[in-house]
Amino acid sequence: MSHDWQPLLLTFKLAAVTTLILCLIGIPFAWWLAQTRMRFKPVLETLVSMPLVLPPSVLGFYLLLAFSPTHWFGDWIAHVAGLKLVFSFSGLVLASVIFSFPFLVHPVQSGFQNLSPGLSEAAYTLGKNRWQTFLHVLLPNIKPQLLAGVVLAFAHTIGEFGVVLMIGGNMPGQTRVASIAIYDEVEAMNYDAANFYALVLFGVCFTILLAVYLLNKRLVMRVGST
C-alpha cells in the first residue's frame, strides 16, 4: 500500500520554519526577560505562558478572528505584506510561532537566570560589548537549556492539531499536516494510513527526544569533569 508523504513533509517543513523563527526572536526575548526587572514582568510572563494552559481551540479561534481579512490585523498584513493568513501556510507558521513560543522561551530563560552575573561582568571587563557577550559567553554556557528549548518547540509544532485546524483547515499540499491527516483517516476508518502517519510522528519525536537526553547527559558529565 502506497502512502501519501505530503502531509509528513509539510509537517516537518512547518516545524523547521517555526523553530527557526522562534530561535531568532525567542532566544533574545528570553535573555531580555531573564534580565529585566520591569514592573510588568509577571504580566509578560503570564502572556507568554498562556498557550501552555489555553485549549488550542480557544487560541485558534482568536487567531482565526485576528488573521481574518475583516479584522484590522489581517487586513493590514494583506495590504502591507501581501500575505493571506487564513487557510495558508503563512498563517500556519505565524500561529505555530505563537503557540510554541513558551516551549522555547521557558527553558532558555531558565538557563540565562541560572548563570552567574560574574560571567557578563568578566566579559565586559575584557572589552566585549553586550552582543558579543551574548553570543560568545552566555549562549555557550546554556547549551543544554538551549537544545531543550529548540527540540521542544520543534516537537510541539509537529504535534499541533487544534490551532492548525482552525487556522489552516484541511487543504492538501498547503495546510494538511500529518495531525490533520491522521484525523481524516480515522474518520474514514482507514486505520492503516492513520497508523502510518502516527507511527512516523511517534518515531521521529522519540528519536529526537532520546538524542537530546543523551546529549544533555554528556554535556552535564563534561561540565562536571572540568
For 173, phi then psi, to 5°, come to 85, -10
**pLDDT of 2 higher than 80:** no
Q: How far apart are the C-alpha atoms of 183 and 202, rounded to whole Å?
A: 15
Tell me, what amino acid is at 175? T
**pLDDT of 225 higher than 60:** no
Contact 102, 48 (CB under 8 A): yes
pLDDT band for 182, please (50, 70, 90 cuts).
very high
**pLDDT of 135 higher than 90:** no
**pLDDT of 197 higher than 90:** yes
Contact 69, 78 (CB under 8 A): yes
**pLDDT of 1 higher than 70:** no
Using one digit for the tens of pLDDT, what is the confidence trace for 78-115? Answer: 888 888 888 999 999 999 999 999 999 999 999 999 88
**pLDDT of 220 higher than 90:** no
Using DSSP, state whether 97 is helix, strand or coil. Answer: helix
**pLDDT of 144 higher than 80:** yes
Can you read off the three cell numbers belonging to residue 219? 554535556
Average pLDDT over residues 107-130: 84
CA atoms within 13 A on the CB side of 73: 11
Task: Convert 168-188 to b/e letters by CB count within 10 Å (16 or more is b).
Answer: bbeeeebbbbbbbbbebbeee
All domains of the chain, ordered by start, with CATH? Answer: 6-36+54-225 (1.10.3720.10)
Using one digit for the tens of pLDDT, what is the confidence trace for 24-80? Answer: 999 999 999 998 888 889 999 999 999 999 989 899 999 999 998 888 888 888 888
Look over the chain and give the mean of its residue pLDDT values, rounded to a whole number: 88
DSSP string of 121-179, one letter each residue: HHHHHTT--HHHHIIIIIGGGGHHHHHHHHHHHHHHHHT--HHHHHHH-S-TTTT--HH
CB proximity list for 52: less than 8 A, separation 6 or greater = 102
Can you give the pLDDT at residue 90?
A: 92
Can you read off the three cell numbers belonging to residue 211? 538524542
